[in-house]
Amino acid sequence: MEVDQILGKLVSIKSSFGNEKAIGAYLESYLKEMGFKTKRQYFEKERFNVFAERGLGSKSMLLYGHFDTVPQYGDWQTNPYRLTRKSDRLYGLGAFDMKGGIAAMLKGLEQESNMKIKVLLCGDEENISKGAWHAVIKSRRWFDDVQFAIAGEAGVTHENDGGIGIVTLGRRGRCVITIDVEGISSHGAEPERGLSALDQAAKIATTANEIMTRTSNKLGSESIFINEIHSSSTSLSVPDRAYLNIDIHLVPPSTPEEATLRIEKHVKSLIKRGILDRRIKFRVHIQKRDTPYLNPYVVSEKNHYAKKIIGLAAKRAGRKISISYGQSVADENVLANALKVPVITVGPQGGNEHSANEWVSKSSLIEIAELFGDVVKSV
């Protein structure tokens, strides 16, 4: 099939996270027909990753993609599960993020390689990366011969939305940090006798832009925002409990643990400056979730495999390549930090990911498929 035909089939299979079984089975069958030895790795009942390999040798390259999508959002002008072409744009849910990248990868894998090829396709990337984390923890030895990984999802930034002329060599990390606030309850008719935890939490929220952030010459500056604040009371009482969640995108050398200490220091400074009441009690901690949060990573432009792929992309594009660094997290963060191998990202041009009328450029999709073929043949 042509690459847009492959994409059309992938788009037709509903696969929002939690509902990936059908597309996983289809991709497993497709890879088998291409001569790959495959296996399923279940990370939840009815949910699995697809591992595949082909060829011989002591070293391998890893091609990575995630096959889940977000749910359908907004008012679509076309059927989100039927790939629809309008000029150079192909519309469909997941067409850009990242079924287009998987289609390009599959098309590129039609080429023969002198290097062993491994393919990892995961679910739950659009949620909390359960698939990718399960893969690197439960099947760590499978990756021992992997020299580098290449992913097909464009590293979207403020300046670009993918395409043959852009190679992504890193991503910011992310974590959510919770501040639990304890005040003093009192009767609502006499609030001055108590200490409203909600009022104190609100003061922390309004000063969040004062929290120290780091800047990286590659990944730019960290970003912080409040994604939740909650408090309530009963029986006509001043609320004595509140919490707020701070979402932060990280750059090196930051980690979730280090960012927690920075936020704790900020709250202490608010008490010292008299912005918060000295009677307040608080606790700062990383919000619990089923998988770890994601640390940032950067691949050196001097890395052998990065240089090779940049050169192939430049040759295919006929011009100098721009080096990009993704502003948000993806499963590539899991692979780069857990496997300690360079993770290089190239993906087709597109737009409207996570919203209605998602699209990918057909011409760009063809170029990326050809680039994947070049990588398979040449690296």
pLDDT value at position 155?
Answer: 72
pLDDT value at position 240?
Answer: 97
Residue in 32, 43, 67, 44 with CA at minimum distance from that of residue 139: 43
pLDDT value at position 354?
Answer: 94
Q: Convert 44-110 into a string of H (helix), E (strand) and C (coil).
A: ECCEEEEEEEECCCCCEEEEEEECCECCCCCCCCCCCCCCEEECCEEECCCHHHHHHHHHHHHHHCC
CATH of domain 173-286: 3.30.70.360
Map tokens 């580098």 to a residue: 148
pLDDT value at position 159?
Answer: 59
Tell me the domain boundaries of the chain.
3-172+296-378, 173-286
pTM: 0.94
- The b-or-e profile of 29-51 (16+ CB within 10 A means b, else e) is ebbeeeebebeebebeeebbbbb
Six-digit token pair at 281?
């009690």
pLDDT value at position 161?
Answer: 80
Top CATH class, 3-172+296-378: alpha beta
Strand partners, 179: 244, 284
Q: Are the beta carbons of 329 and 155 closer than 8 angstroms?
A: no
Residues in the chain, pLDDT under 70:
156-160
- Report the sign of the C-alpha dihedral through residues 26, 27, 28, 31, in that order: positive
Residue in 11, 37, 15 with CA at minimum distance from that of residue 24: 15
User: How many C-beta atoms surround the C-beta of residue 173 within 10 A?
Assistant: 24
Six-digit token pair at 328?
């948000």
Helix (H, G, I), strand (E, B) or coil at 175: strand
pLDDT per residue as tens digits for the range 36-63? 999 999 999 999 999 999 999 999 999 9
